[in-house]
């Protein structure tokens, strides 16, 4: 299912002005580089979609790996219905066809993840997003707070 999902992500994200490198897609925002990364589990057939925001003034340029972004986590942390997304990303579960699961993932990406990433593509938007979503369970490097205090 990973190859099919990668193709679907290509179609969805390239249309939204993301650029691809490996299994990651990058959006060059005003102040930040936003990253969508597709990852396969090493121990099962579960797939993960990691998201990251690299702040340009802190050195993020080009194609930062998601784990080197200043703020990063999984798409699951952004969505309202985590169980639907988890089910769709579980390639071992064959209760639905892969095409149906991929459709669900792409729908959630468009409806929830991409609007969040677009909001976080500027420092002002990132600051507003984080204030409005204080429960976001992403790793945030300490220097992010100092940069956002200036905005």
Nearest to 72 by CA among 48, 104, 42: 48
Whole-model pTM?
Answer: 0.94
> According to the model, what pLDDT value does residue 98 have?
92
N-to-C CA span, the chain? 42
Q: Are 70 and 140 in contact (CB under 8 A)?
A: yes
Which pLDDT score is estimated for 151?
A: 60
Q: What is the pLDDT of residue 101?
A: 96
Q: For each of the chain's 151 residues, which pLDDT tens digit applies?
A: 889 999 999 999 999 999 999 999 999 999 999 999 999 988 888 899 999 999 999 988 889 999 999 999 999 998 888 889 999 999 888 889 999 999 999 999 999 999 999 999 999 999 999 999 888 889 888 888 888 887 6
The per-residue pLDDT for 90 is 92
Say if residue 22 is exposed, middle or buried (CB neighbours under 10 Å; 0-12, 13-18, 19+): exposed
* Residue 87: φ, ψ to 5°: -60, -45
């Amino acid at each position: 299912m990973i190859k099919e999902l990668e193709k679907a992500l290509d179609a969805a994200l390239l249309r939204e002005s993301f650029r691809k490198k490996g299994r990651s897609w990058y959006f060059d925002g005003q102040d930040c580089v936003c990253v969508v990364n597709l990852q396969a589990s090493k121990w099962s057939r579960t797939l993960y979609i990691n998201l990251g925001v690299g702040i340009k003034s802190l050195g993020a340029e080009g194609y930062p790996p998601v784990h080197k972004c200043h703020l990063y986590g999984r798409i699951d942390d952004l969505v309202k219905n985590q169980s639907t997304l988890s089910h769709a990303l579980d390639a071992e579960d064959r209760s639905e066809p892969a095409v149906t699961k991929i459709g669900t993932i792409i729908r959630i990406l468009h409806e929830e993840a991409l609007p969040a990433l677009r909001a976080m593509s500027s420092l002002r938007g990132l600051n507003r997003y984080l204030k409005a979503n204080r429960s976001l369970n992403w790793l945030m490097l300490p220097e992010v707070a100092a940069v956002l205090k200036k905005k």
